[in-house]
Structure 1
Amino acid sequence: MRLRRHGCRDQENDGGENSLKLTLPADFSLDSVAAIRARLDLVRAQGVRILFAIESGSRAWGFPSPDSDYDCRFVYIRPISDHLVLQQPRDVIEFPIEGEIDAGGWDLRKALLLALGGNAVIVEWTKSPIVYEEVEGFRARLLDLLAEIVDPGKVSHHYLGLARSHVAKIGSFSGEVKLKKLFYLIRPLVALDWMERRRFASLPPMNLGQCLDETDVPAPAGEEIRRLIELKSQTREMGSGPIPIAIARYLEARYGHHHMNLAAMVRDEARQARAQALAIDFYRREAELQ
């Protein structure tokens, strides 16, 4: 493991054949990265192959704080022999959260099934800019597939569901909130605005700042959101307080707009059958590579 004086930390990926040299942010804790890699080694010890392991959460979404947890997420695939059994193994591998380390992953089959249902999580994982390890070429192949099988209309409802759950948690746009938690409402609503501008035909960037750059968020709200991102990057505790007025107005207006106007999901049997066939073929080919 080598540490550059500037920029990023390079690490040799020892995750198996066709592995890539990968780059992690220079401010990542060496101890935390070592703890994550130890968990990934335990995953491999179960006889599965890790296809990629990335950082999710606030660090990858573009609004980390100095004490943000490390949220490692991975996708793995089991050997064919593991499927030729009467009782299928679980399709998730999870570790208890310890300190600042939160690690867990999905079987590729689970990831593909969720993608077919419009869950945006696997798309975000695949696009994450922070990669612990990956099988060379796999994420590019998966992104090509996801572009074919993920229905942006379904994803829009995924983001609306996230917004709805956080609106329920804060209770009121005029009350006090934990300011760190406010980002989990801002992000899906900005994503929905990004999608609406493109007629819900494509998927938004993972990074909140990029999403803001490419969306017509009212200037006062955009400036306040960026100010909160900067504040969050500098302090371990933002505390609680009222939502800044410009942000509150934006969130209330856009949540109401999307809640009332988001088009109902249309069941397209032909598209769904084609997407499922593509996903099955992809899964089989990747399993055969193991």
Structure 2
Amino acid sequence: MRAVPDGLDATVVAEIDRRLEVVAAEHGVRIPWAIESGSRAWGFPSPDSDYDCRFLFVGLRERYLTLWPARDVIETPLDKTFDVNGWDLPKALTLIARGNATPIEWLRSPIVYDGDAAFRDELLAYAAAVVERSAIGRHYLHVARRQQAGPQSLKRFFYVLRPAAALRWLADHPADALPPMDLPTLLAQSSVTDEIRDAAADLIALKSVTRELGEGEAPAVLQRFAAHELERAEQFESAAPAKDQREVRERADDVFRRLVD
């Protein structure tokens, strides 16, 4: 499958396709899932946003039957336009089991360069079965707190606002643990006020036409929203695991063996 919006630079997309082909050939792996992450997939790109292609790769069985395993990350040269790297399947599976939302976001990206839908669906089913809501909540809480610890700017505020929106989504969907990836969808599917949605939409529109968003402050209504959601999410820090970890590991092994075969 492929889902590449017309608004993406065709020359850049072609180079990403080429890099993925080179990675597969040089490393002897297959790439069943390659997507765009970062601000373009999160719903708030700038005119000068780089391209953050992320991919999952799978090797032959021999890759995993060695006393000296290869790196579980493959990277390509980084520059102002391209940020293309990926994770080995075992890394993705173990991170999902630990409640890291990043590989789950990759599986739900709206921008797909190349993808095997069956591979994606199996990993999403695995994620839905093993992830702890509390672990996903901690993930987004920690992402936001790390961003708050750095120099503050309007651009950085987006990296606080999206996790805060994910935390609100979790609060509004108590039976689910896999929030959508992009900010507009998170807000649309949550119980936030129209004032918050409108303020976020205005800020996204400003970012879409501004190369340097500046050091100004975010709208007060959004600052209050983010602060409230992060404070409320502190409950996740003390939440005990609900899943049987032996069953989680067994399921991860089953998925790994099946997808490698």
Q: Is 1:145 the counterpart of 2:120 in the alignment?
A: no
Could you tell me which runs of 5 or more consecutive residues in structure 1 were left unpaired when the two chains were aligned: 1-19, 171-176
Task: Give 1:129 shift.
Answer: 1.2
Root mean square deviation, CA, Å: 1.7
Aligned-pair distance for 1:136? 4.7
The equivalent residue for 1:127 is 108
Query: 1:271 — aligned with what?
Result: 244
Find the structure with the greater CA-based Rg: 1
8 Å contact from structure 1 (residues 119, 158) kept in 2: yes
Structure 1 contact 153–201 (Cα < 8 Å) conserved = no
Question: Relative contact order (alpha carbons < 8 A, sep ≥ 6): 1 or 2 greater?
Answer: 2
Deviation at 1:120, TM superposition (A): 0.3
Could you tell me which residue of structure 2 aligns to residue 4 of structure 1? Answer: none
Match of 1:37 among 14, 17, 20: 17
Equivalent residue number for residue 181 of structure 1: 156
AA in 2 matched with 1:165: R
Instruction: Please point out which of 201, 206, 217 is paired with 1:231.
Output: 206
Q: Distance in 1 between matches of 2:64 and 2:231?
A: 46
Of all paired residues, the percent bearing the same amino acid is 41
Runs of 4+ in 1 over 6 A off after TM superposition: none
TM-score under structure 2 normalisation? 0.93
- Out of 261, 268, 281, which is 2:254 matched to? 281
Instruction: Work out the CA distance in 1 between the residues paired with 2:177 and 2:73.
Output: 28
Gaps of 5+ in 2: none
Matches within 5 A, 1:191-210: 191-199=166-174, 201-210=176-185
Partner of 2:4: 24
In the alignment, which residue of structure 2 is the partner of 1:89?
Answer: 70
**Structure with a larger share of its residues in helix:** 2
Q: Separation in 1 of the partners of 2:216 and 2:92?
A: 37
8 Å Cα contact 2:167-2:230 kept in structure 1:
no
CA contact (8 A) 1:179 1:243 kept: yes
Residue aligned with 2:240, SS:
coil
Match of 2:226 among 220, 240, 251: 251
The Cα shift of 1:200 comes to: 6.5
SS in 2 for 1:44: helix
Provide the C-alpha distance between the structure 2 equivalents of 1:267 and 1:252, rounded to a whole number of angstroms. Answer: 26
String of CA shifts for 1:17-73, please: whole Å, max 9, x gaps.
xxx4x2311111122112211211221121011111000111111111222111000
Structure 2 equivalent of residue 63 of structure 1: 44
Secondary structure at 2:216 match in 1: strand
Aligned to 2:97: 116
Distance 2:217 2:183 in 1: 21
2:70 pairs with 1:74: no
Q: TM-score, normalised by structure 1?
A: 0.84
Q: Number of aligned pairs? A: 260
The residue type equivalent to 1:286 in the other structure is: L
Deviation for aligned residue 1:100:
1.0
Aligned partner letter, 1:215: S
